[in-house]
Amino acid sequence: MDSKRILAGASVSATGMAVFLIALTAATAGLPSIYDFGLAGLGIVVGLLLVATGAGLFAFEELQTAHVIRVAGWNALGVVVLALVLGLVVASPSISLPAAVIADVLGVSAIAHVLIGVNDVRRIRVGELARERQKLAVLNRIVRHNLRNDAQILLGNAETLATSLEDERLANMATTVAETADGLATMNDKLGQFQAAVDHDPTEERTVDLTEPVGAVVEEIQNAYPDATVDTDLSEDCLVRADDKLAVAIHEAIENAVVHGGENVRVTSSREDGRVEVTITDDGPGIPDHELTPLEDDTEITQLEHGTGVGLWVLDTIVDAYGGTLTFDTDDGASVTISLPAA
C-alpha cells in the first residue's frame, strides 16, 4: 500500500470533512433565514464533494502517486492561504462572518485549487507523453531501418540458395526463408503506415469523395490479384474529411478480404444520418476472433492475447484518427464497415 498516496488523498478528503462539519454546525445552530440555510447547504454539498474527490484521487490508478501529491499540494496551499485570511477576518472586531460563509468560501477555494492541481498535472503529463512519443518515434525508425536491411539481406541470400541448391529439401527451406524475409519487409512497410496514422495531423485533412480512393484501390487490387473478383456499388454524395491515409485504410480492408476471404469481394458505400459508410464483404471463412479481440478498447494486449495482422491495426488506427468507427461481422463470411463523419 502506497502511504504517500493515501496521505495525499486523505488530506483532500480531510479538507472536505472540515468544510462539511462547519457547514453542518451552522445548519443546525438555528439559522435566521432560508438564505443562511441555503449557504450552509452549499457548504455541506461542497464538503462532501471534496471528500469524494480525495477518495477518487487515491483510487484513480492512471494518476501516478507524484501527481496525486501535486494535486493535494495545491489543495493545501489554497486552504492555508485562505485560512490565514479568514482567521484575520474573524479576529477583526468590526467584522462578523457567519460560519456558513466561512465553510462556503473555504470549500469553493479548495475545489478551485484542486482543479488547478489537476490542470497542472495534465500539463505535466502532456509533456511526459510528448517526450515518450518522441522516443518511440526514434526507436520505431531505428527498428524499421534495421528490419528493412536485415530482411533484404535474408531475402537476397535465400533466393540465391533456393536457385543454386540441388538438394530439393534444402532448396525448399531456402524458399521458406525467402518468403519469411519478404513478409518481414511487408511488415516493415505496414509499421511505417501505422506510425503515420499515430502521428495524424488533422490540419492536413480535406474534403474527399470516398468513391475516388475506393475506385483507385479496387483497380490496384484487381491488377495485383487478377484471379479475384471485386464488385463495387458506390453511392453518390459520399464526402468525408480525410487525407491520403484514407486510401491506405481502404486498401488494407479490401486486400485483407481478397487474400484471406473468398474469391468474390463486394464493396458498397452509403450515406445516412450524417455518416458515410463503406462496407467490404467477402464469402470466405471470416476473420478469426484472436485477430479482432485485440482491437477492442478494453482488451489488454499480452503474449497470449494479440493479433498477428498488422494491417488490421493500421486500418483501425487510421479510421480512429478520422473520428470514425470500424465494425466487423463474421457470421457469414466477413464484412468490414468503415463509418466516417460526413463532410
User: Are 78 and 14 in contact, with CB atoms under 8 Å apart?
Assistant: no
Domain boundary among 174, 199, 224: 199
Residue ending a domain, among 161, 182, 199, is 199
Nearest to 205 by CA among 250, 241, 249, 248: 241
Q: Considering the entire predicted model, what is its pTM?
A: 0.55
Give yes or no: residues 46 and 59 share one domain.
yes
Domain that holds residue 246: 202-341
Q: What is the pLDDT of residue 286?
A: 67
The two beta strands, 264-272 and 229-233, are: parallel
Rounded distance between C-alpha atoms, residue 54 and residue 69, angstroms: 11
Amino acid (one-letter) located at 238: C
Pair 174, 292 in one domain: no
Give the model's pLDDT for residue 61: 80
Are both 61 and 89 inside the same structural domain?
A: yes
Residues 6+ apart with CB under 8 A from 243: 204, 205, 206, 208
Mean pLDDT split into 10-residue runs, the chain, 343 residues: 85 90 82 76 90 88 86 89 83 79 87 90 84 71 75 84 85 85 76 70 81 87 85 83 86 83 81 86 70 53 45 81 84 82 83
